[in-house]
A and B are shown apart, each in its own frame.
Chain A
Amino acid sequence: MATIELEHIRKEYGNDIAIEDLNLDIQDGEFVTLVGPSGCGKSTTIETIAGLTKPTSGTVSIGDRDVTKLPPKDRGIAMVFQNIALFPHKDVYDNISFGLQLRKFEKEEIDKRVEKAAETVQLNGMLDRMPSEMSGGQRQRVAIARAIVRQPDAFLMDEPLANLDAELRVHMRTQLQRIHDELDTTIVYVTHDQAQAMTMSDRIAVINDGDLQQFAPPLECYNEPANLFVAGFIGSPAMNFIEGEITDDGFEADAGYIDVEFDPSAVDATVGQQVVLGVRPEHVLPTETATGDVTDSIDTYTDVTEPMGKEIFVYLVTDQSATVDMEDPDAAGQLLMSVGPAADIGEDQPLSVALDKSNLHLFDADSEVAIAHGLAEPAGVDATEDTPASADD
């Protein structure tokens, strides 16, 4: 068990900058997920922690030890890879015990530990199989056993579930959480799948273009995204964004179809400021059933409905003749709404909707940094200003 600390990590490949200036402080026993789109630098980050990649500058510390210049084997870490990476020429026992054998452990100690690790991942009785004789899920469990058998200070997991099918992925997700509960070891987990990030982690580090966007517990990233990128990346389907301007009495969309009334001075916004309003699909409500503090009704027409079972996604357009541009979900005049399965909403019909004001997000259009979360009235007494929204950068 150990803390992991990254200080001013910078990594360049030739002229490309993979990581700009990354600072991460991971607590002992914490389950931290690095999440971001492909090529955002999250894999480079975990490889830097592992020692497989040397940072151009900056320091990596594991358990108060500066390991920047140490080779991977001396860092006290174990890693599970996306492509599983079992040694195909060794059987399960040899795969799991590879690290122990290299470290010259006693035979009995190795046997004992391998047995226990195999038990943890439910692989008893399969120790003499070859990797080629196993299914994808079994192989991934061997890889996890190989990681836990050495009792490392920290686990690094690079998209370990990406190559598994959907059902197995959910199953392994629970198993991983169980293993984390059991071992209580620091885990750094990389994924581009925000569902995995949300469900498993103590804290999420959202990374984009080699920059840390937000480092916070999953629900905080969801409810109080630090900037436009986090708001759009976390949550599925993605948040609606509406470009507009701050007026004397609140927000007015550039396209004119949405007004939100609030006191601009209460949320640190200046009149005339260009902003982006964010609202999650589940906070777009049909006016008839809307309760609580909502905006004025917006007249829209339903375009396409997507019944998902437990919810229905409804694509709304303000102009009846328009169709939803799926390529650009944030195009003016369209909104995505998510309603319960009981809602009776047909396609191509007029529908009046309102936005739940306590769940609106306001971002500066230029810096893309969050200004406020929740615009419920009376703005003066609302706690919106106290949100730790003005994230580091």
Chain B
Amino acid sequence: MSHDTQPAGSSDEEQGPFTNWVDSAIKNPKKVYRAMFATVAIFFLFTTLFPLYWLTMIAFSDGSRVSEGVGLLPTGFDPSSFIEIFQQVPFHLYMFNSLVFATLTTVFVLLVASLAGYAFGRLQFRGKRPMMLGVLVISFFPPAAFFIPLFQLFNQQISFLGITPPELYSTPGGVVIPLSAVFLPLAIFILTTFYGQIPDGLEDAARIEGTTRLGALFRVIIPLSAPGVATAGILTFIAVYNEFFFSFLMTGAAAQDWAPIVDGIISYRSQFQVRYDLMAAASIVAVLPVATLVVIAQEKIVSGLTSGALKE
């Protein structure tokens, strides 16, 4: 096969196909990189996509036959579980609850992290580094460490200096407040980096033209940092939407008590049977809003990166 490069062509025929491949790979390393890329890519795609595929197969299986086991194809075929999930429990309400938590937390986190990011990224003040470090340290704590005191505070209304706080258990507040605290440090770090990169001249120009510092933040710095804001927002939104610990424990089990998606999915397990097909269908439906958001926002992120064209 390679007579022109290997004059001793006859030896080729004595070698096996693997040896031949190795020979040509040594001469042409790109071939190896391609092969390695394919291997790794297939591995990652398989590990990420196969569970989703299998989940879909379970969801489409006939509910009464799931216990027989589900292979690469659904056992029986019954797409009605996608409707049944809404009939058995008000699953849309559970989803609504989770979306409310995610939206409120994202808005709150972006607002506070923007102000903090502006201060950390653009101002010089005493104690900046220790404060930044403090924020970082807070993010080291496992959220569970805060749980018991917060649960007592939200549930049992401990009075402080004679003031009894409102009962936050089973309200969005009970979830949004602790989760905001948990996800703020990451958002602050992302936004600090982005806001710090906007040239001073642009902020000065905005302030001369008639904005306050805060106005310059919202009219110039945030729009120019759109990719960073989108990244921080999406990370927070997804994390809160998928969050289990606080949203499960700080709310009741019923949809009216602000129970999140997890509660909805668990409720397909009754005393006598576990409806795996319904759980699978509900999981898939629950993923849809986030998946849509990511697809839309990704376009925004990409366009933000290309049209920014920040020049000094």
Instruction: Using CB atoms and an 8 Å cutoff, list the residues of chain A in contact with chain B.
Output: 50-52, 71-73, 77-79, 81-89, 98-99, 102-103, 130-132, 146, 150
Say yes or no: A87-B212 contact (C-beta < 8 A), given A79-B205, A81-B201. Answer: no
Give the number of A-B contacts (CB < 8 Å): 71
- Least CB distance from A222 to B in Å reads 32
User: Roughly how many angstroms separate A79 CA and B210 CA in the complex, as a whole number?
Assistant: 11
Instruction: State the main secondary structure of chain A at its contact with B.
Output: loop
* B201 contacts A88, C-beta separation under 8 Å: no
Assess whether B209 is interfacial by the CB under 8 Å rule. Answer: yes
Chain A residues closer than 8 Å to B307, beta-carbon distance: 89
* B308 contacts A89, C-beta separation under 8 Å: yes
* Complex A-B, nearest 3 residue pairs according to Cβ-Cβ distance, in ascending order: A85-B201, A132-B309, A99-B209
Chain B residues closer than 8 Å to A102, beta-carbon distance: 209-211, 215
Say yes or no: A73-B212 contact (C-beta < 8 A), given A79-B204, A88-B224. Answer: yes
Which of A71, A81, A87, A103 interacts with B220 by CB under 8 Å? Answer: A87
User: Roughly how many angstroms separate A73 CA and B204 CA in the complex, as a whole number?
Assistant: 10
Say yes or no: A83-B209 contact (C-beta < 8 A), given A52-B204, A89-B223, A89-B224. Answer: no
User: Roughly how many angstroms separate A73 CA and B211 CA in the complex, as a whole number?
Assistant: 6
Assess whether B45 is interfacial by the CB under 8 Å rule. Answer: no
User: Roughly how many angstroms separate A196 CA and B49 CA in the complex, as a whole number?
Assistant: 66
- Least CB distance from B45 to A in Å reads 37
Which of B208, B210, B212, B312 interacts with A83 by CB under 8 Å? Answer: B312
Q: Which of B206, B210, B215, B310 is the most central at the interface, judged by chain A CB atoms within 10 Å of its CB? A: B210
* B311 contacts A88, C-beta separation under 8 Å: yes
* A85 contacts B199, C-beta separation under 8 Å: yes
Assess whether B36 is interfacial by the CB under 8 Å rule. Answer: no
Chain A residues closer than 8 Å to B201, beta-carbon distance: 81-85
Instruction: Using CB atoms and an 8 Å cutoff, list the residues of chain B in contact with chain A.
Output: 199, 201-202, 204-212, 215, 220, 223-224, 307-312
Chain B residues closer than 8 Å to A50, beta-carbon distance: 204, 208
- Least CB distance from B178 to A in Å reads 35
Which of B199, B209, B224 interacts with A73 by CB under 8 Å? Answer: B209
- Least CB distance from B140 to A in Å reads 33
User: Roughly how many angstroms separate A73 CA and B309 CA in the complex, as a whole number?
Assistant: 27
Q: Which of B205, B215, B310 is the most central at the interface, judged by chain A CB atoms within 10 Å of its CB? A: B205
* Selected A-B contacts with CB under 8 Å, 12 pairs: A50-B208, A52-B204, A71-B207, A73-B209, A83-B312, A84-B201, A84-B312, A85-B202, A86-B205, A98-B209, A102-B211, A131-B311
Chain B residues closer than 8 Å to A132, beta-carbon distance: 309, 311
User: Roughly how many angstroms separate A92 CA and B224 CA in the complex, as a whole number?
Assistant: 16
Chain A residues closer than 8 Å to B208, beta-carbon distance: 50, 52, 72-73, 77-79
Say yes or no: A85-B205 contact (C-beta < 8 A), given A73-B212, A132-B311. Answer: yes
User: Roughly how many angstroms separate A72 CA and B312 CA in the complex, as a whole number?
Assistant: 22
Instruction: State the main secondary structure of chain B at its contact with A.
Output: helix
* A87 contacts B211, C-beta separation under 8 Å: no
User: Roughly how many angstroms separate A130 CA and B306 CA in the complex, as a whole number?
Assistant: 13
User: Roughly how many angstroms separate A150 CA and B223 CA in the complex, as a whole number?
Assistant: 24
Chain B residues closer than 8 Å to A82, beta-carbon distance: 201
Chain B residues closer than 8 Å to A79, beta-carbon distance: 204-205, 208
- Least CB distance from B29 to A in Å reads 40
User: Roughly how many angstroms separate A78 CA and B206 CA in the complex, as a whole number?
Assistant: 10
User: Roughly how many angstroms separate A81 CA and B207 CA in the complex, as a whole number?
Assistant: 13
User: Roughly how many angstroms separate A69 CA and B181 CA in the complex, as a whole number?
Assistant: 36
* A81 contacts B205, C-beta separation under 8 Å: yes
* B210 contacts A99, C-beta separation under 8 Å: yes
Beyond the given A71-B212, A87-B206, A88-B224, please list 11 additional residue pairs across the A-B interface where CB-CB is below 8 A. Answer: A52-B208, A81-B204, A83-B312, A84-B201, A86-B205, A88-B309, A89-B307, A98-B210, A102-B210, A130-B309, A146-B209
Which of B204, B206, B210, B308 interacts with A88 by CB under 8 Å? Answer: B308
* A73 contacts B310, C-beta separation under 8 Å: no
User: Roughly how many angstroms separate A52 CA and B208 CA in the complex, as a whole number?
Assistant: 8
Chain A residues closer than 8 Å to B220, beta-carbon distance: 87
Q: Which of A78, A87, A150 is the most central at the interface, judged by chain B CB atoms within 10 Å of its CB? A: A87
* A88 contacts B212, C-beta separation under 8 Å: no
Q: Which residue of A lies closest to B204 (CB)?
A: A52
- Least CB distance from B112 to A in Å reads 24
User: Roughly how many angstroms separate A146 CA and B215 CA in the complex, as a whole number?
Assistant: 18
Q: Which of B204, B215, B220, B309 is the most central at the interface, judged by chain A CB atoms within 10 Å of its CB? A: B204
User: Roughly how many angstroms separate A73 CA and B213 CA in the complex, as a whole number?
Assistant: 10
* B199 contacts A72, C-beta separation under 8 Å: no
- Least CB distance from B211 to A in Å reads 6
Chain A residues closer than 8 Å to B212, beta-carbon distance: 71, 73
Chain A residues closer than 8 Å to B210, beta-carbon distance: 73, 98-99, 102-103
Chain A residues closer than 8 Å to B215, beta-carbon distance: 102
Chain B residues closer than 8 Å to A103, beta-carbon distance: 210
Chain B residues closer than 8 Å to A87, beta-carbon distance: 202, 205-206, 220, 224
Chain B residues closer than 8 Å to A150, beta-carbon distance: 209
Q: Which residue of A lies closest to B212 (CB)?
A: A71
Q: Which residue of A lies closest to B310 (CB)?
A: A88
Chain A residues closer than 8 Å to B211, beta-carbon distance: 73, 102
User: Roughly how many angstroms separate A98 CA and B224 CA in the complex, as a whole number?
Assistant: 15
Q: Which residue of B lies closest to A73 (CB)?
A: B210
* A85 contacts B224, C-beta separation under 8 Å: no
User: Roughly how many angstroms separate A51 CA and B309 CA in the complex, as a whole number?
Assistant: 28
- Least CB distance from A91 to B in Å reads 12
Chain B residues closer than 8 Å to A81, beta-carbon distance: 201, 204-205
- Least CB distance from B213 to A in Å reads 8
